Amino acid sequence: MLTSIKTGRLLHDAMAETSRLINLAIDDMLPDEEGDDGKLIRSMRYGCLGGGKRLRPLLVLQTSALFGVAQSCALRVAAAIEFIHCYSLIHDDLPAMDDSDLRRGRPTVHKEFDEATAILAGDALLTMGFEVLAEPATHEDPNIRCQLVAALASAAGAAGMVGGQMLDLMGENKTLDSAGIARLQRLKTGELISFSCEAGAILGKAPPPQRHALKAYAHDLGLAFQMADDILDATGSEDDTGKSVGQDAAAGKSTFVSILGLDQAREQAAMLARQAADHLEIFGGRADTLRELAQYVVERRG
């Protein structure tokens, strides 16, 4: 996933370091357990330690660094968001949902374990995300911790990610227009990406102009990311993406590609990525990694 020649050096290093740190943090919070009683924990670890780009943790760490937040605090928030992102993938992959056998180049959780275990692993990861945020080690100010819990719940729940997944399921064999797809994607993936950027501002008690800049960046980044995802689903290979491809067309789903066509989707994604980077002017050179990230999300092959 780091093979694109266009990935900048700053971003390349930050992605590698984020993966290393988040894997250590998750391993620490979810220590391996042997025996029958450890099956749930093992399925949770399988679902959130199997690679992935760690885009959301990267956003939390990078935006937190802009405000001088302690890395130990930012890492806990990054882990909480990753638990919730991974739970959503586990549940999305279930037979009753997208019915996917492959994720990040490995069998999905319900294929590696079983369906009941996958449902419970998702439930437990979702619950754990909020537990981590509420604990004192996440921030000394309980007001900040409550803000994080409420904002993450809002981004992940019926008015955010779960609502978007519901629209996505109902959109099979139903034609949406470009605005309808944008709304669906804003809920399904955009809200959690936005919260990942907002988290740094909340942790660092950032002033409003910086908050708004990150919010605008996150909005365009999320949309660009989803357009690129649709393009990869239409043109990518299973080897590059590590997951089943061509699923959108097979399910009769409207996507940015089916509506805009491949060329225009590529053009719009690139335009959004440039626009995202432009929102970061207020941070000067300290946001260069976030700028490189905006370019990367539309140029990645997996």
Burial grade of 182 (CB within 10 A; 0-12, 13-18, 19 or more) = middle
Q: State the number of binding residues for its own copies (CB under 8 A).
A: 49
Does 94 bind its own copies (CB under 8 A)? Our answer is yes
Does 39 bind its own copies (CB under 8 A)? Our answer is yes
Q: Which span (49-57, 66-74, 152-160, 209-217) binds its own copies, by CB under 8 A?
A: 152-160
Of residues 77, 133, 176, 206, which one binds its own copies by CB under 8 A?
133
Does 158 bind its own copies (CB under 8 A)? Our answer is yes
Of residues 96, 173, 284, 285, which one binds its own copies by CB under 8 A?
96
Binding mask 161-200 for its own copies (x = CB under 8 A): -xx-xxx-xx------------------------------
Query: What are the Cα distances from residue 53, in Å, to 19, 58, 269, 288?
Result: 8, 9, 19, 19
Residue type for 75, please?
Answer: L
Cα dihedral 27, 147, 293, 238 in deg (nearest 10): 50
CA–CA distance, 151 with 191 (Å, rounded to integer): 10
**CA-CA-CA-CA torsion sign (169, 175, 178, 180):** negative
* Least distance CB 75 / its own copies (angstroms): 18
Lookup: tokens for 47: 């679902």
Which spans of this chain sit near its own copies (rule: CB under 8 A)?
36-37, 39-41, 44, 87, 91, 94, 96-97, 114-117, 119-120, 122-124, 126-128, 130-131, 133-136, 141-143, 145-147, 149-150, 153-154, 156-158, 162-163, 165-167, 169-170
